[in-house]
Amino acid sequence: MPRRLLVRRPSPRLNEGELTHRPRVDADPQLALAQWEGYVEAFRSRGWDVISLPAADEHPDGVFVEDVVVVFDDIAVITRPGASSRRGEIDSARAQVTATGLTVAAIAAPGTLEGGDVLKIGRTVYVGLSSRTNADGIAQLRAILEPHGWSVVAVPITKVLHLKTGATALPDGAVIGYQPLVDDPTVYDEFVPMPEEEGSAVVVLDEHTVLISASAPGTAAALRARGLEVVAVPVTEFEKLEGCVTCLSVRVRG
């Protein structure tokens, strides 16, 4: 099965998106669209099939599609965002995901869960207990996944918006992050600090290649020193809205 990428183009109302930990700095919607197109092309050029969710211009945060869908093997979990302004993004995402043939499960009230809080390493799922994801949402996710051989670990998050704002995993399972923004690095079997906040987020393209923000050249150098190929793309306009390279897509690996 080919690798598939679910994305949604950015709304021209991107600047109205939710902010929790950062001061508001206006993004350039036209530059954001160009950066998003470059991000998508980085996957397409490496053989990923790109599936676009319906545009949702009325939802400023709709481009951060990972927050509303999380995929585990052939199970797609439709989340229930902690930001009530984002719950209108769910229906169009559910329809598109159902069309892919994945088995669909969903988080229900009073649970909240956002995909930015979900970090998968092997068969372990670390889930941030954050301002956007609550204990009930984590409990529901555990009930969905444990029968399929996944282990769910709750991780308290206080310093950043989502767990993956501060830490993500490399192909070998090592967790990287900007240590001042990670509540407890000892949660992970191996934690490797990176020199830049923007270097906390990586997307694994294959077992030898990762995609990161072009805003983190020091991190790129550190990852290359570990033997990885690094693809760097500019995502400055999304970083202004507390976004990063992980939250702009949902990766479905066959």
Active site residue 59: no
Report which residue type is found at 230: V
Q: Which of 21, 59, 148, 162 is catalytic?
A: 162
Active site residue 247: yes
Q: How crowded is the C-beta side of 85, counted as CA atoms within 13 Å?
A: 9
Give the burial string for 42-56 (b: 16+ CB within 10 Å, else e): bbeeeebeebebeeb
| Residue from 74, 187, 60, 48 nearest 39 by CA | 48
| Residue from 117, 121, 102 nearest 51 by CA | 102
The label of the residue with tokens 């990852």 reads 223
Greatest Cα pair distance, the chain, in angstroms, is 45
Residues acting as catalytic residues: 162, 247
